[in-house]
C-alpha cells in the first residue's frame, strides 16, 4: 500500500498543480491551479479535519462550487492542531 501511495504522489507532483486552501471568517475555501496559474476544473472537493489525538473529533466537510473553480463551505474548525486531508476530484482516476 505504501508503494501505491508513493506512486500516486509522484504522478500528482508531475502535473505541476498547486492546491490553495484558505480557512478564514468561518469559511473553508479550496482550489487548484496548474503550472501556468490557471484554475483546474474540479468535480468536487471534500476536506477531512483529523485531530491527531482524538479520532471522535474528526470532521468531514463537503465543499460546494462557489465561483469559477473555487469550492467553499461554512465551517469553523475547533481550536487546536489538525491534520487536513483534501480529496479533490479532477476526473483523472
CA distance 59 to 57: 6
Domain spans in the chain, listed from the N-terminal domain onward: 2-89
Looking at the domain 2-89, which fold is it?
A: Immunoglobulin-like (2.60.40)
User: How many CB atoms within 10 Å of residue 23?
Assistant: 16
Q: Which residues have CB under 8 Å from 81's CB, separation 6+?
A: 51, 52
36-76 confidence digits (pLDDT tens):
999 999 999 999 999 988 888 899 999 999 988 999 999 99
Rounded Cα–Cα distance for residues 41 and 68 (Å): 9
Q: Which tens digits make up the pLDDT trace of 12-44?
A: 888 899 999 999 999 999 999 999 999 999 999
The total of other beta-carbon atoms located within 10 Å of residue 32's CB is 21
| pTM of the predicted protein model | 0.85
Amino acid at each position: 500500500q505504501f508503494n501505491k501511495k508513493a506512486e500516486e504522489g509522484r504522478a500528482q507532483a508531475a502535473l505541476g498543480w498547486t492546491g490553495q486552501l484558505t480557512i478564514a471568517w468561518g469559511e473553508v475555501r479550496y482550489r487548484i491551479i496548474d503550472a501556468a496559474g490557471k484554475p483546474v476544473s474540479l468535480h468536487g472537493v471534500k476536506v477531512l479535519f483529523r485531530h491527531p489525538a482524538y479520532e471522535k473529533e474528526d470532521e468531514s466537510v463537503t465543499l460546494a462550487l462557489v465561483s469559477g473553480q473555487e469550492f467553499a463551505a461554512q465551517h469553523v474548525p475547533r481550536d487546536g492542531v489538525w491534520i487536513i486531508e483534501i480529496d479533490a476530484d479532477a476526473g483523472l482516476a
